[in-house]
Amino acid sequence: MPDALKLANDLDTVLAKPFHQLGVQGARQIVDLMRPRDHTPVHSVENFSVTGRHGDIPIRLYRPTSHSDLPAIIYFHGGGWTLGTLDGVDECCRKLANDSSCAVVSVDYRRAPENKFPLPHDDCYEAVLWVRDHGSDKGLDGNTIAVAGDSAGGNLAIGVCLRARDENGPQIRLQALAYPAFDVPSEYPSFREYSDGPVLTAQDCTWFLDNYLSGPDDLDNPYAIPAAAETLAGLPSALVITAEVDPLRDSAEQYVDRLTADGVVAELHRYPGVFHSFFTEVGTLTAADEAVSEMAHLIGKTLLQ
């Protein structure tokens, strides 16, 4: 895809070094410079915080209409648990809200390595609990929820679904994920095939995972590495979007195979000719606009029926 190739070349210019060589602060500065600056209109955007066990959790709420009792899409941004902000997924969340006719609750969870597992996971789960228990205070239907996320955010969304199942927690109707980090990616062919990126390299993947995990025991914790779960039965139905040129591709697609084997309805859509991080390039990449619309329409169909 010509626009994806041009963007990959542009990003290679901006990213003079891979993320793991830039270090945490250097990588965060670069990612902040790369975030979209346009703001597609939505009915309203509100910033506030909710209280979690580790402190306040910043939230950005997007409402496509003034209607009350709006279904909620709870969105977790990507960035290897280390990078990423609410601003970085702002355009994505605006389009999700407009195209789905649902509210979007974007969660600014604590980032690694300052806050290792389980803190980011706890923040995300507690944000979902807040929507269920207190969402009506903001005009949300706390009983009609989907979770969504890209990359590390997809990993966090899966972990939330597993915990909600295990603890008889909030009833999540759908998980909508872009190239989620389901397993340790080094076990899969795409990790080797696309080890040099673009954007995300194999060494970046390992660095991000090391930033997130507290120690080797976390590899066996399904809330950190969902592939460690004995069964995925009982999880919500899923849409998984992947990018053809992505070291995480095969791990993410394995999630669909595992869900299907365990009796969960799961749909996979691999977008050709695009790379990791494409999903949030709304307004820049045609494939991103198509993928976000695809996700939004399925969520709207699921939550509004």
3-state DSSP assignment of residue 55: strand
Q: How far apart are alpha carbons 62 and 97 in whole angstroms?
A: 7
Give the total residue count for the chain.
Answer: 305
In eight-state DSSP terms, residue 75 is: E
Query: Which of 239, 103, 223, 213 has its CA nearest to residue 164?
Result: 223
**HSE-up of 5 (CA within 13 Å, CB side)?**
4
Cα angle 213-146-211, degrees, rounded to a multiple of 5: 10
Distances in Å between the alpha carbon of 187 and those of 120, 239, 252? 25, 23, 12
Q: Which of 123, 204, 276, 277 is catalytic?
A: 276
CB of 196 within 8 A of CB of 204? no
Q: Which of 122, 141, 246, 250 is catalytic?
A: 246
**Phi, psi for residue 286 in degrees, rounded to 5:** -60, -40
Q: Which of 106, 151, 251, 277 is catalytic?
A: 151
Cα angle 245-249-254, degrees, rounded to a multiple of 5: 160
Q: Tell me the two tokens of residue 180.
A: 């989620």
Task: Determine whether 49 is an active site residue.
Answer: no
Partners of 242 in the β-ladder: 270
Q: How far apart are alpha carbons 109 and 227 in whole angstroms?
A: 22
Task: Determine whether 151 is an active site residue.
Answer: yes
What is the residue-wise DSSP string for 91-102? HHHHHHHHHHTS
What residues are annotated to the active site? 151, 246, 276
